[in-house]
Structure 1
Amino acid sequence: MLIRRLRLRDFRNYTDAEIQFAPGLNVITGDNGQGKTSLLEAVYYLCLTKSFKTTEDESAIRFNTSYFDIEGQLARDESSLENDEIRLVVHRAEGKSLLVGKKRQDRFSEHIGRFPAVISAPEDVAIVSGAPGNRRRWLDMALSQLYPVYLKDLLDYRQALKQRNALFAATFLRPDLLAVWDRELATVGARIIRRRLEFVRSFAGWAARVYGELAVVSEQASISYKSTIANADTINRWCETLPDDQSIAEAMAKTIAENRDREMMRQTSLIGPHKDELLLLLNDKAIREFGSQGQLKTMALALKLAEFLHMAERRELQPLLLLDDVFSELDWTRRHNLIRYLENAGQVFLTSADTERDFETKRPIRHFKVINGSVSA
């Protein structure tokens, strides 16, 4: 997949800008605060209807204006004669709207995965070092771009979870209603857990390989899934055998029943994929607890590159790869190893504050210079 043209109006510090991108490597340079990352953010908005920088869309509207407008022309590949015209507008008063081919999209969730993209940014270290929720959000987004049904299950699960938690907070708990939401939570939750286990099984090898090639010393990275519905031995066995949804649902329903008193005392749902954890290990130790800053950053980058490679393998449509300032804190060896991955990575967008950097690649490069919201090629 590739984006041929991007136009921004009143987005961040861009008043009105139009850029024609190359199908290969696009290098965007400029001093800090000039708008390099904003170009990647705009591309991400078109692909996923949201920002990777903020949860508040209105914060991306240029100061003293009422809306921002992003337009893009996307194609399946370089040889494609057909383009998809995508337009996303965020208005302070009217909210967010999305048009694909001039047709308004009522459900943003149905857009996720149509135009896959992977972003690697300095903030990604929080996926590795931060709370379990950070890893769950990354995992859910990766799976949502692979399987539209996963995102639907995720939204249904969150709705069931909300209804179930409301029962615990009520003055009088109705066991009949609780039983209904127990079944719904276990049924949908089982499908989510099975997809996650399948992902871990197929993705772990990619992550270990990429980390090994980015690291400067011999270190073994691994990934495992920790669940609230079963012990570690059972989960590891499930990762290998992938039981059917019904078997996982029965295990989850059993664990929910066993923890009924604890949930009633806490007045919240404690069992299910919303409480599960993705364990990132380095030499069989939790990298979150024992990893150095260099190891944490290398793992964060490895996860995103592995996500890109895994997605490209699983989908007919190669995702866009967005790399925000990833070279600044890598030594020569890590930079060299990273460049190797970019040789066949489809369309890549890479930002850097270093205008003199030699990327040592055989691929043709189109350079862009950003100065205070103005882009020149």
Structure 2
Amino acid sequence: FCASLMRSTAASRGASKQLNMAPLTYSRMSHLLRSSINRLSVIRTGDESKPGPACCVQFARCQRSGDSQALQERQRQQMAKGLPRQKPIAGVKQVVVVASGKGGVGKSTTAVNLALGLLANDPLKSVGLLDADVYGPSIPKLMNLKGNPELNNLMIPLVNYGVPCMSMGFLVDDVAPIVWRGLMVMSAIERLLRHVDWGSLDYLVVDMPPGTGDVQLSISQNVPVAGAVIVSTPQDIALLDARRGAEMFRKVHVPVLGLVQNMSVFQCPKCDHRTHIFGSDGARRLADTLGVQLLGDVPLHLNIRETSDEGKPVVVSSPDSPEAEAYRKVAAAVVQRLEEVST
């Protein structure tokens, strides 16, 4: 059973190499991913005439017998190979991931305005934006981008506000659900990272999916990530998940640049009364506990929501507003932390 599984895995790897040589088209993307991944889902026993249960019984007996030592030795040899070797993305100097422990804390909005804030603070820098949330892509809406990227051996990212963007949302219909296994998502992320003509970028901001799952682990292990920005609201339940996210990045040796406390305070637009709807300074206390920097506070403001829904992020649509200034301060703090962790 184990030997046949290894043969099946090797066959899948050979198929992946062939896929990389084939031209990438939109209509074939899902088919190609499914074709390569489905090879892993079919476990060959070496004798097609044997029914499935017999294989399970044989495997169980193997575990209970002395053959389990051979199995453990093979596992030890695989572990000794270590983590996958990190490969830089062509043309990209620094990769900054924006993550959150849970959804609904404003991670994607922060990622978009961080990218635009980096560009606003230093127009001579080049900044790209990658939407790594395959199941729920938000970048097309937030950046007001529609259409399919052009193909010229590599996909050409769509550009708005001076920022080249790539997202799975460009390759599927707006309402089409993406129902893929984890391995298919990993293959899609690899293509979005490396089969794109990013040009020359000083920063590539990656909007990660919420949580601490396969995408976070895959990107952290395969790409040299310069640092991670953790976004959280001040409420306790969000802070618990934010701490898990920070600890995950530490375990995979990705520097945690700091925390962004989003929706920190609500200010009434009529009377200017300030209310801490989600609590006060929770992310600041968590940053102190983790020994990382609080990169900034972003208020809960109607202007941020309206400009995001319109595809006109607040940093470019209302550059003189306090909300835009908050994002630019976060961007400046990120650049400072990148310089600190790189020395």
Structure 2-normalised TM-score? Answer: 0.29
Which structure is richer in relative contact order (CA contacts within 8 A, separation 6 or more)?
1
Structure 1-normalised TM-score? Answer: 0.27
Which structure has more strand as a fraction of its residues? 1
